[in-house]
Structures are given as structure tokens and as C-alpha cells.
Amino acid sequence: MEFDLHRPYQLNPAVALRPEPFGALAYHFGNRRLSFLKTPRLVTVVRLLESQASAAAALNAAGVSARERARYAAALAALAHSEVIDAR
Amino acid sequence: MTEDTVILEDEDLEDLVESDELLVEEVSIDGMCGVY
Amino acid sequence: MLAEAAGPGTLTERFKRGLAAPICLTWELTYACNLQCVHCLSSSGRRDPRELSTAECMRVVDELERMQVFYANVGGGEPTLRPDFWDLLDYSVAHHVGVKFSTNGVRLDRRAAQRLARADYVDVQISIDGATADVNDAIRGAGSFAMARRAMEALAEAGFGEFTISIVVTRHNVSQLDEFKRIADSCGARLRVTRLRPSGRGADSWAELHPTAAQQRRLYRWLSERPDVLTGDSFFHLSALGAPLPGLNLCGAGRVVCLIDPVGDVYACPFVLHEQFRAGNVREPGGFTRLWRESELLLRLREPAAAGACASCGQYDACQGGCMAAKFFTGLPLDGPDPECVLGHGERALAAVCLPDRPPPGPGHSRGPVFLGQIAARAAT
């Protein structure tokens, strides 16, 4: 499924998200892939997904600026592609 | 402290990521130095 | 206006500064081993009477769980020789720490394979060092190749799925790389190819076993054409030959990786079991967690390293000066070239080393003297 900013998402239950000084590491226990989230704000977005009505709403709730929106959307799309987050 | 300096907060760390750098990167867990 | 700041920088820079927990934690469960491989980096053989108890091992797993270590790379010696091996496996998985364990196959019979096939979050790696019994057994002992093959068959019969076959590249098996790949493909296994370090018993045989410069170049080309072959980032010193191989391409000692040994000692590098790189012991107050976060050794390793003698070399960015373990046990300075530096700087540096100045690997747990076996003559490589 294509990533869609207007859909609701969540952190994949098979993924362990570990905070780091730079952001976080996300390890998918199923496919053994390790992803590197490079900003603390991106980690905030990912943690907010579950409680927000859409990915776009999570971006807003995390305080992503208009200028940064495209970058964060691209990051979420990459995370969806790696199955770190999935549509709920 | 001059008027040009600011205290960096967590949120400001993202400004240190290069503007065209992807915010997510996949790292091969097998591509790390270990015995096994 | 933002002040100039030492930002996190690239991915590599971020890793170098240290992580909340290791990513690749190596855990040697026991020094006991049924084999006496010539190059054993942990000089295994005899069980150490001070081995961590079952309860102590479980406390370590509890710590790894709290630190969110994603998985542990378990080995030894031969880890399946511990009577509590299966209990520890189950306990780890139940506590959210995945396990990849490495074995010579001695206890991987049908029943064990079936048990593993039912387990989740457990990966298996089987070690061989030759694609044929003659090459393999010269290093690992008579019958070891057949034993490993039986274990591979047991896993296949039990429907385990994909496991890993791991080899250490030596002068005598570089010519067998294609055969290794064929064996792995025929088993539906991944192939892992790793570097011989002059560590443990390897210190004695490294000079005659390590690949030649020409063989290294051949290995690099072979790996470059096969990104699906794993290397455990073993060959980042070869990155000076061209495009970097997949992997972090840097020494992770104390930053990304570390080792817990059978008696609970924590070392920065799994290939340097030496007092100089021992951070402490998990039995101390604060356990493993405190050592990872606060030990003086690990903190020092996370500071930026000087290029030293390699500073003027154009390839330093690619090779990062190579492998600390390879330098340490060959008596080379750590801020200089790798002994197998592809530009030959290491060879020149080695010529200047006085053998008595090389750090001895320590008494180890070998059961007796070990000698490289006879390898049948093979076609020139």
C-alpha cells in the first residue's frame, strides 16, 4: 500500500524503538532490519501516530514546520516501506 | 555570550541534519563488526 | 542565529560517539568446546570454573532487556555444551532479546533442529572453514566438516528455514569461495565470510594462514560482486581498494559492539580478549549497564581517534586505519596502518616489529597445544 498522509498509522508492534541521543534506532524483529531515525522530532512523530487521526495530524501535533513537512513525510513513507510503521 | 549565540535545544538538533539528507536510514544489522 | 556547534554529523559520526546500548553484542557463553580450531580467537577448550551461573546469565538477559539490546550474538567455545543452553535461549526470547547463536553442530541433532524450527527470534549460524573436509578439518579437526554438514541437514529436514554458514577466510580456502556459495545456496542458507584475526590461538598461525595481498584483492572483487554475502563488516580495511563494501565500514569496538565473556568480563572488542581492552565484569555493582555507560575504557574509545601515521594517506577516510585487533596482536601501533593494509603500509610496519614486543594473547582455555593439520595440495590460487 502506498504511504498516504491522510491515513492513520501506528508503530508496527514487531518493532522495538530505542531512544538515542540523536533520535532513535528501530529494530524490526520480524525482518531483522535496523532503521536509524535521525532527529528527536521524527521519533516524536512516530510515537504520536497511534493517537492521531492521520499521519498528517501527527506531523502537526509534533510541531513539524511547514518548511520541513515534505522531509518528514518522506521519512514516514520510508518507514512505512520498511514496515516500521503500518496503516491501522 | 554574544547576541548571536543561542542555547541549542533538542529540537534544534534537526537543523544540524543536512538539508537534503534523508531523516531515515537503514543500516544492515549484519554489517557490524562482531564474531558471529 | 545558530552558533557553530559540533553537530552529530553523518551516520558514522553518530555511531562513533556511542549508543544507548550495543547493537551487536557478542556473548561467549562458555569456554568449553569439543573442537580445538587452530585459529580460535577465544582460545577455547576447557570450561572455566568461574563461569556465570544460570541465574547470573538470566540477570544479564534482564539487563539487556532493560537496555533494549535487540539481540545477542551467542557463541563460545561451543555454546550448546552448556546444560542450560536451551533454558537461556527461551529466557532471552521471552525477555525480548533475540538470539543468534553460532555452533560447530555437535549438538544439532534432529530433536534440537525441530526445537529450533519452532522457536521464534532465534537465528543459527554454523561454522566451517573449508568447502571440503580436507581443507576444513586441517583447521577444525578430523570429522568436524562431516559434523557441520549433518547439522545443516538436520536444520533443513526440520524445516528451520534460512540459517547462516560462516567461514573465516584463510590462505587455504580463498580458492573455495565459489564452492562455499554453492553449499550455502543448496541449503537455502546465507553465506557469511569473515576475516581471520591474529587473536587467541590465531596469534600463532596468523602469519601462515592470513590471505596474501593478491588473495585479498581477489576476495574484495568477489565480495563486491555479491552484496548478498554477509561479512560482519570484517573487511572494511579493503575499502581502500575501491567502492566500500556494504556495512558500517568502521571499528565498532566499544561504540556499537562489545563482548561479554563466559566469566562475565566485558571487553570492548570481541577479537581482543586482553586486559588492556577489558572494561570490567558484570558481577560488579551496576552490572553490564554501568560498564557500557560509564567505564573509562569504553568512554575513551568513543572519543574521536587520531589518524596518527595514516593521516597523510589519501585512503584513510575509506579504511579508517583498519582493524584494531589485527594491529594489536601483531604488535603494530593502534594509530597506524592495519597489518593487511592494501597499500602495503602494514607490511612495512610489521617488518619493524620485534616479536617479543607483541602482546601475548593470554593463557586462554586450550586443552593442549594445537597444530595446523595437513591440507592436501590444491591448484595454485
% of chain C with per-residue pLDDT over 90:
77
User: C266 near C260, Cβ under 8 Å?
Assistant: yes
In whole angstroms, what is the distance from residue A1 CA to residue A22 CA? 30
What's the Cα-to-Cα distance from C71 to each of C15, C116, C233, rounded to whole Å? 18, 16, 17
User: C57 near C26, Cβ under 8 Å?
Assistant: no
Asked if pLDDT for residue C1 goes beyond 70, the answer is no
Q: Cβ C96–A16 below 8 Å, yes or no? A: yes
The whole-chain average pLDDT of chain A stands at 95
In whole angstroms, what is the distance from residue C365 CA to residue C63 CA? 27
In whole angstroms, what is the distance from residue A49 CA to residue A57 CA? 8
At A21, list the grid cell: 541521543
Q: Which of C63, C229, C68 is nearest to A15 (CA)?
A: C68
- Predicted TM-score (pTM) of the model is 0.91
Bridge partners of A17, per DSSP, are A26
Low-confidence residues of chain A: pLDDT under 70 = none
pLDDT mean over C37-58:
96
In whole angstroms, what is the distance from residue C56 CA to residue A33 CA? 30
% of chain C with per-residue pLDDT over 70:
95
C264: exposed, middle or buried (C-beta count within 10 Å: 0-12, 13-18, 19+)?
buried
> Which member of C11, C21, C98 has the closest CB to residue A29?
C98
Q: Cβ B35–C41 below 8 Å, yes or no? A: yes
Q: What digits encode the pLDDT tens for the residues C70-105?
A: 999 999 999 999 999 999 999 999 999 999 999 999
Q: Scan residues 15-74 of A and list those with Cβ closer than 8 Å to B.
A: 22, 27, 32-42, 63, 68, 71-72, 74
For residue C280, what are the contacts with CB-CB under 8 A and spacing of at least 6? C265, C266, C291, C295
Which of B31-35, C80-84, C203-207 is the least confident region?
B31-35
Host H or E run for residue A23: strand A23-28
Asked if pLDDT for residue B2 goes beyond 70, the answer is no
Question: What is the band of C306 on the pLDDT scale with cuts at 50, 70, 90?
Answer: confident
Say which residue, C132 or C370, is predicted with more confidence.
C132
Q: What digits encode the pLDDT tens for the residues C323-378?
A: 999 999 999 999 999 999 999 999 999 999 988 888 887 889 999 888 888 665 44
In whole angstroms, what is the distance from residue C324 CA to residue C306 CA? 13
Chain A residues touching residue B23 (CB < 8 angstroms):
37-39, 42, 71-72, 74-75
Chain C residues touching residue B12 (CB < 8 angstroms):
2
The whole-chain average pLDDT of chain C stands at 91
Q: Cβ B6–C2 below 8 Å, yes or no? A: yes
Bridge partners of C24, per DSSP, are C257
Q: What digits encode the pLDDT tens for the residues C244-264?
A: 888 888 888 999 899 999 999
ipTM, 2 decimals? 0.92
Asked if pLDDT for residue C108 goes beyond 90, the answer is yes
For residue C10, what are the contacts with CB-CB under 8 A and spacing of at least 6? none
User: C28 near C75, Cβ under 8 Å?
Assistant: yes
Which of C86-90, C138-142, C319-323 is the least confident region?
C319-323
Question: What is the band of C163 on the pLDDT scale with cuts at 50, 70, 90?
Answer: very high
Q: Where on the phi/psi map is residue C348: left (φ > 0), alpha (ψ -120 to 50), or beta?
A: alpha
Residue C4 confidence (pLDDT): 24
At C46, list the grid cell: 576447557
Chain C residues touching residue B8 (CB < 8 angstroms):
2-3, 5
Q: Cβ B13–A78 below 8 Å, yes or no? A: no
At A33, list the grid cell: 532490519
Q: Residues in chain A whose beta carbon is closer than 8 A to a beta carbon of chain C?
A: 16, 18-22, 25, 27, 29, 32, 34, 36, 38
Q: Where on the phi/psi map is residue C164: left (φ > 0), alpha (ψ -120 to 50), or beta?
A: beta
A8: exposed, middle or buried (C-beta count within 10 Å: 0-12, 13-18, 19+)?
middle
Residue C371 confidence (pLDDT): 82
3-class secondary structure, A33: coil
- Which subunits have 3 or more CB–CB pairs within 8 Å of chain B? A, C
The amino acid at residue C85 is: F
In whole angstroms, what is the distance from residue C241 CA to residue C238 CA? 6
In whole angstroms, what is the distance from residue C133 CA to residue C145 CA? 5
Q: By CA distance, what is C7's nearest residue in A?
A: A22
Rounded to a whole number of angstroms, the distance from the CA of B16 to the nearest CA of chain C is 6
Which of A6-15, C13-22, C27-36, C46-55 is the least confident region?
C13-22
Asked if pLDDT for residue C292 goes beyond 50, the answer is yes
Asked if pLDDT for residue B1 goes beyond 70, the answer is no
Q: What is the CA radius of gyration of chain B?
A: 17
3-state secondary structure chain C: CCCCCCCCCCHHHHHHCCCCCCCEEEEEEECECCCCCCCCCCCCECCCCCCCCHHHHHHHHHHHHHHCCCEEEEEECCHHHCCCHHHHHHHHHHCCCEEEEEECCCCCCHHHHHHHHHCCCEEEEEECCCCCHHHHHHHHCCCHHHHHHHHHHHHHHCCCCCCEEEEEECCCCHHHHHHHHHHHHHHCCEEEEEECCCCCCHHHHHHHHCCCHHHHHHHHHHHHCCCCCECCCCCHHHHHHCCCCCCCCCCCECCCEEEECCCCEEECCCCCCCHHHEEEECCCCCHHHHHHHHCHHHHHHCCCCCCHHHCCCCCHHHHCCCCHHHHHHCCCCCCCCCCCCCCCHHHHHHHCCCHHHCCCCCCCCCCCCCCCCCCCCCCCC
| Residue with grid cell 518528514, as numbered in its chain | A72
Asked if pLDDT for residue C30 goes beyond 90, the answer is yes
> Which member of A20, A29, A32 has the closest CB to residue C19?
A20
> Which member of A27, A34, A39 has the closest CB to residue B14?
A39
In whole angstroms, what is the distance from residue C142 CA to residue C157 CA? 25
At C262, list the grid cell: 563466559
pLDDT mean over B2-31:
65
At C66, list the grid cell: 532493560
Residue C18 confidence (pLDDT): 78
Say which residue, C128 or C352, is predicted with more confidence.
C128
Bridge partners of C191, per DSSP, are C165
Strands of the sheet containing B24-27, edge to edge, are A15-20, A23-28, A34-37, B24-27
